[in-house]
Structure formats: C-alpha cells, structure tokens
Amino acid sequence: MAPVQPGLNPVLSPGPEPASAPNPTPPPTIDYLRISLIDRCNFRCQYCMPEGAELDYLQRSAWLSDDELLLLLGEVFLPLGFSRFRFTGGEPLLRPQLARLIARVAALPGTQDVALTTNGFLLADQAADLYGAGLRRINISLDSLQPEVFDALVGNRGRSRWRQVWQGIQTAHAVGFDPLKLNVVVIPGINDGELLDLAALSIDRAWHVRFIEFMPIGNDALFGDRGWIPSETIRQQVRDRWGLEAGTVLGNGPADVFQIPGAKGTLGFISQMSECFCDRCNRMRLSADGWLRPCLLNETGQIDLKTALRGGTDLALLRHQVQTLLQLKPEINYKQRDAGTTGRYGKTMSQIGG
C-alpha cells in the first residue's frame, strides 16, 4: 500500500494547519505522573515493537524498586502537587506483586487517583486482586474485534491472543472497574474498516472507547507504509451512523470526549497528529529505570532519579530538581506543539512508557 500523506487524500486529510498563536489560556496544572513499571511486554505489537526489532531489556535490578518508587512519590511528587498516577509498561501486569504496590500507592496521603494501562492478556487472573487493592480505573488495548486481525497486530507467536484479552475485558467489567476504557490505535488498511463496530461497544455498556491516531514512534516501516487517519474522519463516520454529542464522562488525559446519543459509554479521540494538544498536556513520565521526562517526544531536562536516589542524594534536592523541570514544562509544551509530531522517534513505545 502506498504511504498515506496527510493533505493529499481528501478522506485522510486533517485540513489546513491552524495559525500558530500564543495560547490565551493559562498553562495546565501538572499533577499527573505516568509511571512505567517495566519495559518488557508479552506482546510484540506492530506499532510498538516491529517485526525483527531487538530490544535490550532492563535487568530487574535496574528497575526502580517498590520501596524506591514509594519514597519518590511520597517525598518528591506528592509534595509538589502530583496526585494522579497511572501505571504503564511495557506490560505492567508482568511486574511482580503489582496489586501490593498499587495498594501502597493508593494509601499514600494525597493520592487522589491510581489507574493502569494494560494489554489485558493477564487481566482475567489479576482483575479481582487489582480491584481489591484500590485500583478503579483501567485502560485495555483492543485494536480489533476480529481475532485474526488482532493476532496479526500483536504477534501471536503461534497461538491466538484475542480470546484471552476479551476474557480479561469481561472479567474487569464484572469485577466493577469504572471507567473501563478500551484503547484503539487506528491503522489504515488494518483496522479502520471496523471502527464503527468498536464504537458500538459504548452503546449498551458503560465502556469508553478511545481512538488513537497512529504515531511514528519506533515503527518507521509500518508508519511509512500506512500513514494515519485524522480523528475528525472517524467522528464523521460516527455522526453519519448514529449522531454524536459532547460526552458526559470526561477523563484526566488528552482525549476529546464525545458520546453516541443515548449510549451508556463514551468515545474518546486522542489526536496528537491532527489536533496537537501539547499546550494542554498535564503530565510527566517516569521510566522503569527512574528517568523523569517532561514529554513523550521531548526529553529536555530529563532527570535520572534512580541514580541520584541510590547515590544518596538528599530528597529535598531531588524535589527541587523536579520542581525546576516542572517550571520548564509549559515552555516544552508550547515548543513541542509548534514543532509538530510528523517526524520519527527512534525509541519504541514500550521503552518510553506508552
């Protein structure tokens, strides 16, 4: 398939670029930390770890330990106003004693929200323990309702993965997770023919389906071959089928939220390629090996917290360093917005925490 170039195809074009102008709204409060617990994953999704890619995984000793992570959250991040934490990976359900860690984080004074993003493969066995630990919000990747398409995307390694992921979603729903969000990375020519079927999951269930524009992160060959589809194209498909209105359940992240009239759930659209939201980004990222980064695609000012912590650096000094990076964050947001996101980024999503 020939590469899809935004602006050349009338169906896939995001339209004219908005004029660059100072944003009159104040910068967002940075209170949301995405925490990668592990860089390993039991899937090899084409858009994250392309076929043939060889990754040097971290040794377990290189991860922030549970105690180190709790110390950083309690003594550095919570005092600086962070109150919402999301665990990611790799695949966070591979982290040993995950439910125990979540319970400890949820119990920290000042923690307002703990969430998790997973591929769902191990979720059926862990959902009840995670819920019992205090986890209430969960995002599960579901890029296709067709087992053969799903398995091709995730690299099934000789056996189907779709059914076990679907069972994990059903189990999470039965346990009581609310909101339960399903993440769909939209890839032209692979799963774009079933977007209405995926959207329909939000009608009779209080499930929140989020369509994510395909980004060029560690997947040059696939992105170059497939390109991406603007969120507005998907929204128009939904309007034509059911209608679309403003959503009644909003999230903590960058999704623009809508709802099929009368639906129990919502539809979210994460549109970094066509509708850049960098200037309203409210998050920082902590990698599994302790690097604090201000942005998914911009590592300006990043801090190696693990090395400093293990070297005996005073926690007050670490807190000051993080505070300084927080002060730089609005400038990084605006620069990243102006730079756009059509370039390539060498690291895979599993390496930078999703």
For residues 30 and 284, the answer to whether their CB atoms sit within 8 Å is yes
Between CA 151 and CA 158 the distance in angstroms is 9
Token digits for 62? 């290189």
Q: What is the pTM of this model?
A: 0.85
Task: Please list the alpha-helical segments (H only) found in the chain.
Answer: 66-72, 98-106, 123-132, 147-154, 162-175, 195-199, 201-204, 220-226, 231-241, 305-310, 315-339, 349-352
Q: Give me the half-sphere count of Cα atoms (radius 13 Å) on the Cβ side of residue 316.
A: 0
Q: SS3 helix, strand, coil % of the chain, rounded to 5?
A: 35, 15, 45
Per-residue pLDDT in tens (0 to 9) along the chain, 354 residues: 333 333 322 233 333 343 444 445 677 889 999 999 999 888 887 777 766 666 778 899 999 999 999 999 999 999 999 999 999 999 999 999 999 999 999 999 999 999 999 999 999 999 999 999 999 999 999 999 999 999 988 886 667 899 999 999 999 999 999 889 999 999 999 999 999 999 999 999 999 999 999 887 766 666 666 778 999 999 999 999 999 999 876 666 678 999 999 999 999 999 888 887 777 788 999 999 999 998 877 778 899 999 999 999 999 999 999 999 999 887 776 556 555 544 445 565 555 665
Distance CA 125, CA 96 (A): 14
Contact call for residues 330 and 282 (beta carbons, < 8 A): no
Cα–Cα separations (whole angstroms), residue 79 to 68, 76, 320:
16, 6, 11
**Superfamily for the 32-48+58-352 domain:** Aldolase class I (3.20.20.70)
Q: How far apart are CA 348 and CA 337, in angstroms?
A: 21
pLDDT recorded at residue 17: 41
Joined together, the tokens standing for residue 315 give 């926690």
**For residues 292 and 334, what is the distance between their CA atoms, to the nearest angstrom?**
19
Q: In which residue are the tokens 């962070």 written? A: 82
User: Cα–Cα distance between 14 and 7 in angstroms, integer?
Assistant: 7
d(CA 242, CA 234): 12
**pLDDT attached to residue 18:** 39
Can you tell me the distance from the alpha carbon of 158 to that of 137, in angstroms, rounded to the nearest whole number? 32
Read off the tokens for 107: 């119990």
106 Cα distance to chain centroid = 20
How far apart, in Å, do the first and last CA atoms of the chain sit?
27
What is the bridge-based pairing of β-strands 137-141 and 113-118? parallel
Beta bridge partners of 268: 210, 257
